[in-house]
Amino acid sequence: MELAHSVPWAGHLGFQKSLHRIASRFVWPGMYTQVQQFCSSCHTCQLTTNRGVSKALLQPLPIIETPFERIGMDVVGPLGRSSSGNRYILVICDYATRYPEAFPLRSVKAKQVANCLLHLFSRVGIPREILTDCGTNFLSNLLKQVYQLLGIKGINTTPYHPQSDGLVERFNQTLKNMLRKFVSETGTEWDKWLPYMLFAYREVPQASTGFSPFELLYGRQVRGPLDLLKEQWESPSPSGEHVVSYVIKMRERLEQMAVMAHQHMTTAQAKQKTWYDKKARERSFHPGQKVVLLLPTSDNKLLTKWQGPYEVTRCVGKLNYELYMPDRKKKHQTFHVNLLKQYHDSPQQFAMPSVSQSSQQVPMQNKEHAD
């Protein structure tokens, strides 16, 4: 079995190909099961193949109806240093309206992040929840004190799984694409263009809500360059509408838009879950079970991507598991189930009955278990 699967000229091919090599020359009782067990417990194959790892079912976050009740926060960068010395962008998105904010920063130290949050809170109020990744700047004692002082619940996504904060991740990609188009033309002035990019994004209706972020937040359409052009062609008519009447109408419009936006988000969320779950299935692990972990490596695809094995210590929520990692500085770390797959220990020895030469063929299966 070692010669048929593990040596360099065998190539660590899958179970079916390894079985075919053996079955064309030898046969013994229980050969099919033993070869299958040998290939499935091959340490090298378990660390280098993605076969057999399906994504967990999508778990959408609860829909938020109140603007800036829950916000997502992330950092883009490092970017090319601007003429103002900025290299990073602190990105914040509101989950109810999809309204984005972006702050250029020289560094991503916790103090700088806290200052940006205070500037934001002075305009939109204090949120109940802030969703971030596990970056050290977001887990600092300073930010924890700010959260505690202001009654904010901090929610951390699992490492290497940005899909947990999909709203901010999608805006990050859009912002990066916009930056690439402007940086090539403006060089070190990219931070000067951030307000224009934010305006462009806030003005456009979102598929998930049916309205623009600006309209959901302020209850009216934003007055932009095209409106200025239109006003040059049309004579503005004086409006004698009373202020109180205007406020009442705006409040009614906001309430109607909130209901419609909630319906749009519910429908969009259901469609996204249906599409995502087509190739997903539920997987679970139990304490004491061994798994391997998918972590980023270099761009060389020939290098091992899976690392471990590590022992599962406990389940954290529905889709996250804490691992005991004795080779790491932080011994206990939590990861999303999509980054894990079961590790099969290789038996101490395979019982090998007397081998006889035979031309008898073992029935093949159509589908291979591993590459």
Segment 114-132, tens digit of pLDDT: 999 999 999 999 999 998 8
Q: What's the mean pLDDT in 23-51?
A: 80
Contact between 221 and 277 (Cβ < 8 Å):
no
Res 156 pLDDT > 90: no
Contact between 23 and 31 (Cβ < 8 Å):
yes
Decide the pairing of beta strands 70-76 and 129-132.
Answer: parallel
Q: What is the pLDDT of residue 56?
A: 53
Contact between 258 and 65 (Cβ < 8 Å):
yes
Residue 365 confidence class, pLDDT cut points 50, 70, 90: very low
Q: Is 234 inside a domain boundary?
A: no
Res 340 pLDDT > 90: no
Q: Which residues contact 342 (CB under 8 A, 6 or more apart)?
A: 285, 289, 290, 291
Instruction: Write the CA distances from 138 to 72, 130, 274, 311, integer angstroms.
Output: 12, 10, 32, 27
Decide the pairing of beta strands 290-294 and 340-342.
Answer: antiparallel
Q: Which residues contact 257 (CB under 8 A, 6 or more apart)?
A: 211, 215, 216, 219
Cα separation, 79 vs 92, in Å, equals 18
Q: Is 162 inside a domain boundary?
A: yes
pLDDT single digits (tens) 193-241: 888 888 888 888 877 677 888 988 888 888 877 776 677 677 555 555 5
Q: Can you list the positions of beta strands (E) in the chain? A: 26-27, 70-76, 88-94, 100-105, 129-132, 153-156, 290-294, 306-316, 320-324, 332-336, 340-342, 356-357
Q: What's the mean pLDDT in 166-185?
A: 72
Q: What is the pLDDT of residue 69?
A: 92
Most confident of the following: 27-31, 39-43, 253-257? 27-31
CATH number of the CATH domain containing 142: 3.30.420.10
Q: Is 271 inside a domain boundary?
A: yes
Q: Is 153 inside a domain boundary?
A: yes
* Residue 268, SS3 per DSSP: helix
From the number of C-beta atoms within 10 Å of its C-beta (0-12, 13-18, 19+), residue 357 rates as exposed
pLDDT single digits (tens) 248-291: 665 665 566 556 556 655 665 566 556 555 555 678 889 999 99
Comparison of pLDDT for 183 and 206, the residue scoring more: 206
Q: Is 296 inside a domain boundary?
A: no
Give the domain extent around 78.
Answer: 70-225+243-276
Comparison of pLDDT for 137 and 68, the residue scoring more: 68
Contact between 317 and 334 (Cβ < 8 Å):
no
Cross-strand partners of 311: 290, 324
Q: Is 351 inside a domain boundary?
A: no
Q: Is 9 inside a domain boundary?
A: no
Q: Is 250 inside a domain boundary?
A: yes
Number of domains in the chain: 1
Q: How many residues does the chain have?
A: 371
How confident is the prediction for the chain on average, in pLDDT?
Answer: 75
Q: What's the mean pLDDT in 338-364?
A: 59
Decide the pairing of beta strands 332-336 and 320-324.
Answer: antiparallel
Query: What is the reported pTM?
Result: 0.52
Res 351 pLDDT > 70: no
Contact between 176 and 168 (Cβ < 8 Å):
no
Q: What is the pLDDT of residue 262?
A: 60
Instruction: Write the CA distances from 113 to 71, 79, 90, integer angstroms.
Output: 14, 17, 7
pLDDT single digits (tens) 310-328: 999 999 887 789 999 998 8
What is the biggest distance separating any 2 CA atoms in the chain, rounded to whole angstroms?
A: 102
Backbone phi and psi for residue 10, each to the nearest 5 degrees, phi listed first: -90, -30
pLDDT single digits (tens) 82-94: 889 999 999 999 9
The amino acid at 52: G
Comparison of pLDDT for 138 and 91, the residue scoring more: 91
